[in-house]
């Protein structure tokens, strides 16, 4: 592992954020099983280095769009675990006032345009924001996150083209976790994903998506390029989802991949990779990792408790928030 | 001052005035530099390539780009060259722009206007260029307006642009070259405000888009026989002026719905339901519908005409509803 240009404090901070995502997701799964969270969630476990590596290169005025597997992207950019758990629990105190749930969490104040239930759908929105930044002469960058599956979705390919011809300040971040639900990317497309982006005229790179420091360095380079007005780029992060596609599909997880394959990727667990880097670079003292873990665990438990304590939306507010401007009898309810 | 303007000239005037008033307005479209119809005429010269933005043939991306621009503080207008081009953009319209505000819990609203040009059949444009697709977007909860005159085109387009929600502005292809008086000063016609286009006492024809003028022509013809037809134009399809509709139904007690969208789950079906729920006691006869047939519009002249609502069948429906005891 080559040394990184990050100082120890930055690496520890990245480890902490990755651990926060890991613990958030582990507890989310438990809360779903316990019936504390309705429905299901797509867990980000195994892919933490991508969200944290990229987001460390961003500030709050840069915007991101996310995927159905979005919890990690939101926490990585500074999302509040209390408001996230509250959203998963359908509470009024949730990010989306209990209207969105797992697949739609957003924080417009932090430049997080939100998760999305439709593969590839956030990419054009990121282009639109990037176009506004460029029009207004602002130095901000748009970062759409998406998976390998989205690389076969028409709107994403349209977006790559528009970003290229407009020289947009945008970095497309492809989380290649090898599977579109159960379909291996090698069977769903020919050639490399980065080559495909390069063919559209984007600067394209591929990086080890299990190494947060490597992801950060590639992302920081491409973000700086975008801020300098040098146009759109594409970063393919090779990564892996350790858990099933979502918490409802655990039983079928081994119908399309093997336990041995999952184990081989777990040997390169992104939390272990960054922890080993800190160990070898003397970035922290013995006991520091356990201390961070304990702090994060306490923060997560506190967030869960505070979310649970908060109120559910009143049924009478069910029609709220769809429109900025309403009219007599509009929007219509269930009966008159 | 009031002058005669064509429908697209009136739209152009609304765009010029709104863009001058609000620097956050940008227009996304395809084939802008080559479009010769007039609604975008001169805008690129006046406002430049950063506000009048030409795209590749990518309707889905174009629509999503507008949503992102709105979330980033812009007030975008999306120009669809012909009505069926909303279909390649369907996810971005109905599953993204329409749904995001509620799903975000009110964190943001999406102030976007969709200018849907060339709606309906103009003769020989066949199945994929003859649609009146407003029921699809109304069903998805996208505010929708369809003007029937140049004056309404200007006022409703200004209102659509000023609204802080997605609004689809449907342009009837048969009216694009029609002319009418338009006030020069800026104005907006509020949503959910229909208008009586012809006063009458015997029967109400609710007519949409290009059918308003046809309904008025039919009314004039029937006046010779002593039949006094009121023509009511909803203008705003969603939200609907329920009070205005109820008032005209209360006045005449007989209703013919004259709408060029599909019969099943079309706009007339919704109007019929609203009238039945809210105005049943005022009705002297069952509500009648004259609509587009439930088929793809065929190419040939006679077979195309057979699928579309027209004055002959409107007159039959009016006479039939008046004869009902």
Q: How far is CA B37 from CA B12, B31, B32, B117, B230, in A?
A: 10, 11, 10, 10, 33
List pLDDT tens digits, range A28-46.
Answer: 999 999 999 999 999 999 9
Q: Which of A131, A161, A321 sits opposite B106 (nearest CB)?
A: A321
List pLDDT tens digits, range B105-134.
Answer: 999 999 999 999 999 999 999 999 999 999
Distance CA A60, CA A63 (A): 7
Query: Is B143 part of any domain?
Result: yes
Contacts of A125 in chain B (CB under 8 A): 64-65, 67-68, 71, 96
| Residue A336, pLDDT score | 80
Within an 8 Å CB–CB cutoff, is residue A131 touching chain B?
Answer: yes
pLDDT beyond 80 at A223: yes
Query: Is B188 part of any domain?
Result: no
pLDDT beyond 70 at A2: no
CB contact under 8 A, B71 and A129: yes
What's the rounded mean pLDDT across residues B277-294? Answer: 98
Clarify whether residues B151 and B250 are in a common domain: no
Whether the model clears a pTM of 0.95, i.e. scores above it, the answer is yes
- Kindly indicate the confidence band of residue B213, based on its pLDDT and cuts at 50, 70 and 90: very high
Clarify whether residues B207 and B289 are in a common domain: yes
Question: What is the three-class DSSP state of B269?
Answer: helix
pLDDT beyond 70 at B36: no
Clarify whether residues B147 and B15 are in a common domain: yes
Distance CA A279, CA A262 (A): 25
| Residue B77, pLDDT score | 98
Clarify whether residues B178 and B201 are in a common domain: no
Query: Is B160 part of any domain?
Result: yes
How many other CB atoms sit within 10 Å of the CB of residue A49?
31
Structure tokens at A321: 């928030």
Whether B79 is catalytic: no
CB contact under 8 A, B192 and A118: no
Distance of CA B302 to the CA centre of its chain: 26
Clarify whether residues B65 and B117 are in a common domain: yes
- Kindly indicate the confidence band of residue A95, based on its pLDDT and cuts at 50, 70 and 90: very high
Clarify whether residues B172 and B230 are in a common domain: no
Q: Catalytic residue, from B79, B109, B129, B139: name it.
A: B129
- Kindly indicate the confidence band of residue A4, based on its pLDDT and cuts at 50, 70 and 90: confident
- What's the CATH number where B273 sits? 3.40.50.920
Structure tokens at A138: 């602002």
| Residue A66, pLDDT score | 98
| Residue B258, pLDDT score | 98
Q: Which of B183, B205, B234 delimits the end of a domain?
A: B183
Distance from CA of B117 to the nearest CA of A (A): 22
CB contact under 8 A, A96 and B103: yes
CB contact under 8 A, A159 and B91: no
- Judged by average pLDDT, the poorest of A241-245, B22-26, B41-45 is B41-45
Q: Across chain A, which distance is largest between two alpha carbons, in Å?
A: 69
Contacts of A155 in chain B (CB under 8 A): 60-61, 64, 91-92
- Kindly indicate the confidence band of residue A138, based on its pLDDT and cuts at 50, 70 and 90: very high
Q: Which of the residues A74, A84, A86, A124 would you substitute to probe the B interface, choosing the one with the greatest number of B C-beta atoms within 10 Å?
A: A124
Q: Which of A94, A109, A124 sits opposite B65 (nearest CB)?
A: A124
Clarify whether residues B115 and B219 are in a common domain: no
What is the total count of domains within chain B?
A: 2
Q: Which of A162, A321, A329 sits opposite B58 (nearest CB)?
A: A162
List pLDDT tens digits, range B218-261.
Answer: 999 999 999 999 999 999 999 999 999 999 999 999 999 999 99
Contacts of A310 in chain B (CB under 8 A): none
Within an 8 Å CB–CB cutoff, is residue A80 touching chain B?
Answer: no
Clarify whether residues B238 and B115 are in a common domain: no
- Kindly indicate the confidence band of residue A285, based on its pLDDT and cuts at 50, 70 and 90: very high
Distance CA B241, CA B222 (A): 27
Query: For residue B164, what is the nearest residue in chain A, using CA coordinates?
Result: A324
Contacts of B126 (CB under 8 A, 6+ apart): B297, B298, B299
Contacts of A332 in chain B (CB under 8 A): none
CB contact under 8 A, A121 and B91: yes
List pLDDT tens digits, range A97-114.
Answer: 999 999 999 999 999 999
Instruction: Give me chain B's average pLDDT, please.
Output: 97
Contacts of B66 in chain A (CB under 8 A): 128
Distance from CA of A321 to the nearest CA of B (A): 5
Clarify whether residues B30 and B83 are in a common domain: yes
Distance from CA of B55 to the nearest CA of A (A): 8
List pLDDT tens digits, range A154-173.
Answer: 999 999 999 999 999 999 99
Distance CA A312, CA A281 (A): 47
Homologous superfamily of A8-317: Thiamin diphosphate (ThDP)-binding fold, Pyr/PP domains (3.40.50.970)
Distance from CA of B279 to the nearest CA of A (A): 13
Query: Is B256 part of any domain?
Result: yes
- What's the CATH number where B112 sits? 3.40.50.970
pLDDT beyond 80 at B34: no
Distance CA B266, CA B134 (A): 9
Containing structural domain, residue B276: 195-323
Clarify whether residues B141 and B173 are in a common domain: yes
Query: For residue B142, what is the nearest residue in chain A, using CA coordinates?
Result: A323
pLDDT beyond 70 at B88: yes
CB contact under 8 A, B106 and A97: yes
Query: Is B274 part of any domain?
Result: yes
Q: How far is CA A172 from CA A119, A148, A168, A219, in A?
A: 14, 12, 11, 10
CB contact under 8 A, A121 and B96: yes
Clarify whether residues B40 and B95 are in a common domain: yes
Query: Is B301 part of any domain?
Result: yes
Q: Which of B130, B163, B183 delimits the end of a domain?
A: B183
Clarify whether residues B36 and B151 are in a common domain: yes
């Amino acid at each position: 592992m080559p040394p990184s240009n990050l100082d120890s404090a930055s690496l520890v901070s990245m480890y902490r954020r990755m651990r926060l995502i890991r613990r958030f997701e582990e507890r989310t799964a438990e809360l779903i099983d316990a019936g504390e969270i309705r429905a299901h969630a797509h867990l980000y476990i195994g892919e933490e280095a991508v969200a944290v590596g990229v987001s460390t290169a961003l500030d709050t005025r840069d915007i991101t769009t996310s995927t159905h597997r979005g919890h990690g992207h939101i926490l990585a950019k500074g999302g509040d675990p209390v408001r996230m758990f509250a959203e998963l629990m359908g509470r009024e105190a949730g990010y989306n006032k209990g209207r969105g749930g797992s697949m739609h969490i957003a924080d417009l104040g932090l430049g997080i345009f939100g998760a999305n239930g439709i593969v590839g759908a956030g990419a054009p929105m990121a282009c639109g924001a990037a176009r506004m930044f460029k029009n207004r002469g602002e130095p901000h960058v748009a970062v759409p996150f998406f998976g390998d599956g989205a690389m076969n979705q028409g709107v994403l390919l349209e977006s790559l083209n528009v970003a290229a011809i407009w020289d947009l300040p945008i970095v497309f971040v492809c989380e290649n976790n090898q599977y579109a639900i159960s379909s291996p990317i090698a069977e769903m497309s020919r050639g490399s994903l980065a080559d495909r982006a390069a063919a559209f005229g984007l600067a394209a790179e591929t990086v080890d998506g299990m190494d947060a420091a490597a992801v950060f360095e590639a992302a920081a380079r491409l973000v700086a390029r975008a801020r300098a007005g040098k146009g759109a780029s594409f970063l393919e992060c090779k990564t892996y989802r350790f858990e099933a596609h979502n918490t409802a599909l655990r039983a079928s997880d081994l119908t399309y991949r093997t336990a041995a394959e999952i184990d081989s990727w777990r040997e390169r667990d992104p939390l272990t990779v960054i922890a080993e880097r800190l160990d070898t670079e003397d970035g922290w003292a013995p006991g520091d990792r356990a201390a961070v873990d304990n702090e994060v665990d306490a923060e997560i438990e506190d967030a869960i408790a505070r979310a649970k304590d908060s109120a559910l939306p009143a049924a009478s507010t069910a029609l709220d928030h769809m429109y900025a401007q309403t009219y007599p009898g509009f929007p219509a309810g269930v009966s008159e | 001052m009031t002058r005669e303007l064509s429908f697209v000239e009136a739209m152009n005037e609304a765009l010029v005035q709104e863009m001058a008033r609000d620097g956050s307005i940008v227009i996304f479209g395809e084939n802008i530099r080559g479009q010769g119809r007039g609604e975008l005429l001169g805008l690129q010269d006046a406002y430049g390539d950063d506000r009048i933005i030409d795209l590749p043939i990518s309707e889905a991306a174009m629509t999503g780009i507008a949503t992102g621009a709105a979330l980033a503080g812009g007030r975008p207008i999306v120009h669809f060259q012909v009505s069926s081009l909303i279909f390649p953009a369907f996810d971005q319209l109905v599953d993204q722009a329409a749904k995001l505000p509620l799903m975000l819990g009110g964190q943001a609203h999406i102030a976007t206007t969709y200018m849907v040009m060339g709606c309906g059949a103009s003769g020989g444009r066949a199945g994929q260029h003859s649609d009146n697709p407003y029921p699809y977007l109304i069903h998805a909860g996208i505010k929708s307006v369809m003007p029937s005159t140049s004056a309404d085109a200007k006022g409703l387009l200004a209102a659509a642009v000023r609204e802080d929600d997605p609004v689809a502005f449907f342009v009837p292809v048969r009216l694009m070259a029609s002319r009418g008086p338009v006030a020069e000063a800026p104005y907006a016609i509020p949503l959910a405000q229909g208008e009586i286009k012809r006063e009458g006492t015997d029967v109400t024809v609710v007519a949409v888009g290009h059918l308003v003028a046809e309904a008025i022509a039919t009314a004039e013809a029937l006046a010779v026989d002593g039949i006094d037809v009121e023509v009511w134009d909803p203008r705003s399809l969603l939200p609907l002026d329920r009070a205005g509709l109820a008032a005209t139904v209360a006045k005449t007690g007989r209703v013919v719905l004259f709408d060029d969208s599909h019969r099943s789950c079309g706009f007339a079906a919704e109007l019929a339901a609203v009238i039945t729920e809210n105005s049943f006691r005022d009705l002297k006869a069952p509500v009648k519908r004259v609509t587009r047939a439930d088929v793809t519009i065929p190419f040939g002249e006679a077979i195309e005409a057979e699928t579309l609502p027209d004055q002959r069948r409107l007159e039959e429906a009016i006479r039939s509803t008046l004869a009902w005891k």
